[in-house]
Structure 1
Amino acid sequence: MDKVESAFMTEPPQHPEVLEAVLSLPQNYRTVIYLYYYEGYKETEIAGILKKKVNTIYTWMYQAKQILKKQLGGE
């Protein structure tokens, strides 16, 4: 279990289907989703934390959202 997964497990999920979908993402996508939505970091801050280009973070966020949308069947 990585840091992100263990952080998700510290609080009871409000929407277990969303949590399950997020945890099923590849690690890089899961990490950016966690940092953005659960920790409140901006994309530029996430880029600094992960030592990646900002455009990489934007791409990972977009791709992660597309996967989640497909898995959860909605907008």
Structure 2
Amino acid sequence: MTTIVLLASLIALGYTACYLAVCAASPWGRCRRCHGRRYHRTVIGTRRDCRRCDGTGIQVRLGRRLINYIRAEYRAGHQ
């Protein structure tokens, strides 16, 4: 039983490390609302610029925001 928990923990830790490495190398990702199309359709069917990404189609990844937050907290504590 302990080996299964340990293996699951190592897999989760490895996945997290890989995701943070991807976020550090490529901080931009496609917008989740418009899927990178820069617009979305309204209820009546017209196109509108996506408000979440301001019509660019890209957003900062969640992991990159976490990295930036940790860096800012570290720098604020060491001034």
Task: Give the structure-2-normalised TM-score.
Answer: 0.24
The structure whose residues are more often helix, as a share, is 1
Highest CA radius of gyration, 1 or 2? Answer: 2
The structure whose residues are more often strand, as a share, is 2
